[in-house]
Structure 1
Amino acid sequence: MDQWLKQKKALWMLAIVFLLWMGSGCDAHSGKEDKGSASSQKGEASEVIRIGYQKYGTLNMLKARGNLEKRLKKLGYTVQWSLFPGGPQLLEAMNAGSLDFGHTGEAPPVFAQAAGTPLLYVATTPPNPAAEAILVPKNSPIRTIADLKGKKVALNKGSNVHYLLVQALEKAGLKLSDIQPVYLPPADARAAFEQGSVDAWVIWDPFLADAEVNGGARILMDAKGLPKQYGFIVGRNGYVKQYADVAKTVIAQLNKVHQEIHSSPDEAAKLLAKETKIGEEIWKRTLSRRGYGVFPLTKEVVDAQQRIADRFYEAGVIPKRVKVEDAVVVIKGQ
């Protein structure tokens, strides 16, 4: 009987030791998966930052250079890049929680705020009024914005050119309801434009430059002379607040790329042509008409963005008013 009790006691001891060992193993594993413990994993590149980019923005140049990956690896991160046809699609992904950072024009964040997307304005880029335009075929009888009345106009809904179209129509005494908007992403819009399925196309570079050179297009009107439209680096609210070190690194590296492009545009055109499969001459034209630099948001920028948001609401394009200032974040040391 004593022998049996000793054996039973030994088995219980072994079971306890095994359970303790399993518990410590599970704790170690959960530490690796903990999103909040990135600083303890420096050099292991175990955290992932998800960045959305477009063919137009300079994030594609940052991706091609590979410098951001090197910098963030030291902080314990890897970078996952995702290409989007436009800002609205990029911010839809952010709203779904599958994106942490991105670069868009002025209109997409307004639409996203109105839809409840948890975004933050992190930094701004200069206006590029010559880099977006309303196009018509070269031989089109359309000569003025007023001639667009009743016509089919293709655009990417909620993109920067949406505001261009609203403003252009207003200057000509028209409203969106006076034309037939056809909402298409850039590739589909170009096909419709070249096939004659639409009468005009509102688009941005490098698609604009390509359509001018290779698509038989004529500029009816660009954004010069209209209220300033800035570009924005945006981030997912919870991510930016938790990982300010990442946000600061992204902004610094992107600003560096801006300066490199500005000082060596021909070299940048070569690299971008390789990265995007869009011709080098198209990129030279694109880079010649854009501004450079990445800056903190000033009151002037926020006020300009607020005017755009108010105009969209007044035109009935977004369902509710948005307050831009509510989504602005200041990154210390930016």
Structure 2
Amino acid sequence: MKRLMQRWVTAAALSASIVAGAVGASYEQERIVRIGFQKYGELVLLKSKGTLESRLAGEGYKVVWTEFPSGPPLLEALNVGSIDFGSTGEAPPIFAQAAGAPIQYVAYEPPAPKGEAILVPKDSPLKSVAELKGKKVALNKGSNVHYLLVKALEKAGVKYSEIEPVFLAPADARAAFVRGAVDAWVIWDPFQSAAEAAAGARILADGTGIVSNYQFYFSSNKFLEANPKIVDLVLAQLSEVDEWAQGDIHAVAEQLAPSIGLSAPVVELALKRQSYGIKPINDKVVADQQQVADAFFALGLIPKQIKISDVARRPGS
């Protein structure tokens, strides 16, 4: 009886170890990198090219892509743990950090001031930003164009409180713009280039001489702490696709257009206004981003002052 009990215990222990091993192997096989992307930038190019999947498969990771209409909902998804990595413009991370989101800046792209603009209908009588005083201006609240509008008005001598902001997501803003429900629309590419091509929208002002229009890459604190090498691998793949895109923008536009539902000429124009050359976060970029945060706090758009350096991952960290 004693010998039978020993055999049973040994068999049970072996069975348990096999199950544990199977569960562990299953867990290893199901490791996932969840990436949020929009209809612009290197992430949508990387998704289109399809090279990240095979590279991460070699590390035991699967890639899950989720599209977002703009930066604020993307960073909210990062905040609640629905995605691990993503990219937005300058303003969304300011609002996210002020709300306590556990984000980390991990890289950036050089300025692309022509990649966002204040648009007016082709037959609009408005000729300058100063003439927006008292007018309805559509924009995506908390997005990169929010800062463009703030600084363009400031440069023109118009107070932010002297215009009527109409907060709409890109699709709704386009509809309002086309039917004349708003006087102007502040928007980024490729929505900007699409509006120029389809509706004959006229650029009242782009970011040139007003804002930098950086694009930033982010990871959640949790994912970055657990998977720093995977974050670096994604960034390395982005750098490769960056070089590919610069090599033949026309060919890239032809390949990308069907997947994002825009014509190749529209995509090509947007790509030409995009910046290239992904870089690690540095002091200059942190200082520039701090200016955005300070401007939003001064206007009462965020509830507290924040320090960008608190959430900026530097090389080697």
Would you call these one fold, judging by a TM-score over 0.5?
A: yes
Q: Verify: 1:31 aligned to 2:15, yes or no.
A: no
**Corresponding residue for residue 140 of structure 2:** 156
> What letter corresponds to residue 149 of structure 2 in structure 1?
L
The one of 231, 250, 269 aligned to 2:215: 231
Is the CA contact (8 Å cut-off) linking 1:61 and 1:271 kept in structure 2? no
Task: Work out the percentage of aligned pairs sharing the same amino acid.
Answer: 49
- Are residue 201 (structure 1) and residue 188 (structure 2) matched? no
Question: Quick one: distance in 2 between partners of 1:227 and 1:60?
Answer: 24
Q: Deviation digits for residues 43-69 of structure 1, max 9, x if unmatched?
A: xx5311000111011111101111111
The Cα of 1:276 is off from its aligned counterpart by 0.8
2:270 is aligned with 1:270: no
Letter in 2 for 1:89: P
Please give the per-residue CA displacement for 1:2-55, whole angstroms capped at 9, x wherever unaligned: xxxx5xx68866764564355324422442365xxxxxx5xxx53110001110
Give 1:238 shift. Answer: 1.4
CA offset at residue 157 of structure 1?
0.8
Partner residue of 1:304 out of 283, 288, 295? 288
Q: CA deviation at 1:126?
A: 1.0
Match of 1:77 among 35, 39, 61: 61
Q: Does 1:192 align with 2:173?
A: no
Q: Is the 8 A contact 2:45 2:241 kept in 1?
A: yes
Gaps of 5+ in 2: none
Distance (Å, rounded) in 2 between the aligned partners of 1:213 and 1:310: 36
Q: Which amino acid aligns with 1:220?
A: L
TM-score by length of 2: 0.94
Q: Distance in 2 between matches of 1:147 and 1:227?
A: 20
Give the aligned partner of residue 317 of structure 1: 301
Q: Is 1:248 aligned with 2:241?
A: no
CA–CA separation in structure 1 for the residues paired with 2:26 and 2:73: 29
Structure 1 counterpart of 2:90, one-letter code: E
Match of residue 3 from structure 1:
none
Q: What SS does the aligned partner of 2:275 have?
A: coil
Is 1:98 paired with 2:86?
no
Aligned with 2:41: secondary structure? coil
Aligned-partner SS, 2:65: strand
**Residues of 1 paired with 2:245 and 2:141: CA distance?**
29
Aligned equivalent of 1:221, options 188, 205, 229:
205
TM-score normalised per structure 1: 0.90
Coordinate RMSD, CA, aligned: 1.9
**Structure label with greater radius of gyration:** 1
Does 244-253 or 22-31 show the bigger shift?
Answer: 22-31
Query: Residue type matched to 1:286 in 2?
Result: A
Q: Secondary structure at the match of 1:127?
A: coil
- Tell me the amino acid that sits aligned with residue 219 of structure 2: G
Letter in 2 for 1:160: N
3-state DSSP of counterpart to 1:158: coil
> Contact 1:229/1:305 (CA < 8 Å) preserved in 2?
no
- Aligned residue pairs: how many? 317
Alignment correspondent of 1:46: 30
